[in-house]
């Protein structure tokens, strides 16, 4: 519940009027609404920044102008305005990073906002990998990945007027959240794109995580702590010896895959046991948990040929565990009302796509030891897919998304349309299976069939196709 100032007209009129204005800029009243909207619907999903409830949009713009701009962009429900503000963000980031050599916490917070909700900039042609690497570079430049130096010789050169050396300020909670948030989102993007590295974890980040866990100035700090703990396990999967890009030694090659997977599962269960009681049923934490669980178990999909020779490895059990993780993830997902989808960051969209693609692969997997019908009985792909499409199609109207004056569509309408376009291919591939299902997930009411375009889908879900959820077909690097 947002407890920000309710007199939006008054708070919008406060402060200086000397701020630089630009085309399609939110009015003072709109800015207060957008900040409240961000605080209520979005911040909890990716809680890398804490904005006190007493902070007005005018104050935020004065103190953190780049963060303000990025929040206005991702919180706007006008697609044309999002497009204009998105271009303004890219121009601002280019000026700060390249021309002004800006190295500020405001710039980092703005970048994290832009990357965190990059799925809403569907017509701005962003480069996730480029902006992600910019954020990592900025963390290094700001020194947020290491402790504040105590005896730095350069400090002696910084002399105040009374000839006293300047003492470095201690690491702030804002900085700790920012560096943990940077690790979280860069790891998520890295895991999804599989082309870039996440921010490297350091002992100082361990300290930041522990401090945030102890102080938790905001309830959403606890969510960030749980997300980061789980994402550290995802990073271990990504860097595991079974991956092509991982460094493999003779010692590692002789260790059974099940050893690693069991160890990671134990670590995940340990993380779960430490979740605060009031977050045990939190949909954000649970979604991240089941997504992490899926990441661990689905390694067998790429390891089946080689792992079949290991007598102590049971890939079929892992595959069934994948199905249970996907089923559990969607059960959590469907408890979230469509109006709340407006808060979804890139991470939720990537989890959604991963769960759908994994379920599709398992539904068509051909192996003598694998019963495809059991997949349908546990988690019916088409039933789930239809429910996702139905929910996505409702968001624009329920949440008041405005596409008037835009050449494109909002994220949710576009996602629903893309899902509808590939559904016939999936249905055709699954046509040989028994249509009877006892899925425990919500079913769709019987209605008039909607004509669908003819689309051929390859059996291996293409990562380039998945990226189309976030980038338009004519995407080019700028």
| Contact present, 319 and 370 (Cβ < 8 Å) | yes
pLDDT for 442 equals: 39
Local structure of residue 99 (DSSP, 8 states): I
**pLDDT tens digits along 398-419:** 988 887 766 667 889 888 988 9
Interhelix angle for 381-399 vs 346-364, to 10°? Answer: 160
User: How crowded is residue 231: how many other Cβ atoms within 10 Å of its Cβ?
Assistant: 26
At CA 99, angle to CA 95 and CA 100, rounded to 5? Answer: 85
Cα separation, 227 vs 450, in Å, equals 39
Cα separation, 470 vs 118, in Å, equals 7
| Contact present, 53 and 2 (Cβ < 8 Å) | yes
Cα separation, 58 vs 139, in Å, equals 27
pLDDT for 2 equals: 54
**pLDDT tens digits along 104-156:** 999 999 999 999 998 877 444 447 888 999 999 999 999 999 998 865 555 44
pLDDT for 214 equals: 93
Cα separation, 310 vs 260, in Å, equals 13
| Contact present, 68 and 57 (Cβ < 8 Å) | yes
Phi, psi of 288 (to 5 degrees): -70, -35
Instruction: Tell the residue number behind the tokens 């006892």, with chain if given.
Output: 438
pLDDT for 275 equals: 96
Contacting residues for 145 by C-beta, under 8 A, at least 6 apart: 139, 179, 199, 200, 202, 204, 205
User: How crowded is residue 110: how many other Cβ atoms within 10 Å of its Cβ?
Assistant: 26
Local structure of residue 199 (DSSP, 8 states): P
Which residues, given as ranges, of the chain have pLDDT below 50? 1, 5-18, 122-126, 155-162, 165-166, 245, 247-251, 305-313, 434-478
Cα separation, 64 vs 94, in Å, equals 17
pLDDT for 101 equals: 62
Inter-CA distances, 381 with 128, 330, 384, 450, Å: 29, 11, 5, 18
């Amino acid at each position: 519940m947002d407890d920000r100032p309710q007199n939006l007209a008054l708070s919008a009129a406060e402060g200086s009027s000397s701020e630089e204005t630009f085309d399609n800029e939110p009015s003072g009243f709109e800015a207060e609404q957008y900040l409240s909207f961000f605080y209520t619907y979005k911040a909890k999903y990716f809680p890398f920044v804490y904005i006190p409830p007493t902070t007005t949009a005018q104050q935020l713009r004065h103190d953190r102008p780049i963060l303000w701009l990025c929040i206005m962009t991702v919180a706007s429900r006008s697609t044309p305005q999002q497009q204009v503000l998105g271009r303004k963000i890219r121009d601002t980031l280019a000026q700060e990073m390249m021309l002004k050599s800006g190295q500020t916490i405001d710039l980092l917070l703005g970048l994290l906002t832009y990357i965190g909700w990059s799925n809403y900039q569907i017509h701005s042609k962003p480069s996730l990998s480029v902006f992600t690497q910019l954020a990592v570079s900025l963390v290094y430049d700001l020194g947020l990945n290491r402790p504040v130096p105590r005896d730095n010789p350069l400090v002696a050169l910084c002399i105040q007027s009374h000839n006293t050396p300047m003492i470095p300020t201690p690491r702030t909670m804002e900085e700790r959240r920012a560096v943990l948030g940077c690790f979280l989102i860069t790891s998520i993007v890295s895991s999804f794109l599989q082309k870039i590295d996440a921010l490297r974890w350091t002992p100082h980040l361990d300290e930041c995580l522990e401090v945030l866990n102890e102080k938790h100035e905001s309830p959403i700090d606890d969510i960030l702590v749980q997300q980061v703990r789980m994402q550290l396990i995802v990073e271990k999967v990504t860097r595991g010896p079974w991956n092509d890009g991982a460094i493999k030694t003779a010692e590692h090659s002789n260790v059974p895959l099940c050893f690693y997977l069991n160890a990671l599962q134990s670590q995940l269960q340990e993380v779960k046991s430490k979740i605060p009681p009031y977050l045990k049923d939190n949909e954000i934490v649970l979604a991240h948990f089941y997504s992490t669980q899926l990441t661990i178990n689905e390694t067998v999909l790429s390891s089946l040929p080689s792992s079949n020779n290991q007598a102590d490895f049971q890939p079929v059990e892992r595959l069934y565990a994948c199905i249970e993780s996907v089923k559990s993830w969607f059960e959590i997902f469907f408890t979230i009302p469509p109006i709340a989808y407006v808060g979804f960051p890139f991470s939720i969209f990537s989890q959604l796509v991963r769960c759908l693609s994994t379920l599709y692969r398992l539904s068509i997997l051909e192996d003598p030891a694998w019963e495809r019908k059991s997949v349908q009985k546990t988690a019916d792909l088409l039933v789930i897919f239809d429910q996702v499409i139905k929910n996505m199609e409702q968001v624009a109207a329920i949440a008041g998304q405005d596409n008037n004056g835009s050449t494109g569509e909002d994220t949710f309408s576009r996602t629903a349309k893309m899902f509808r376009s590939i559904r016939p291919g999936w249905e055709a591939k699954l046509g040989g299976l028994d249509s009877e299902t006892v899925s425990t997930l919500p079913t769709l009411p019987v209605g008039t069939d909607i004509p669908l375009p003819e689309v051929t889908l390859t059996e291996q879900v293409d990562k380039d196709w998945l990226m189309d959820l976030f980038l338009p077909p004519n995407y080019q690097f700028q």
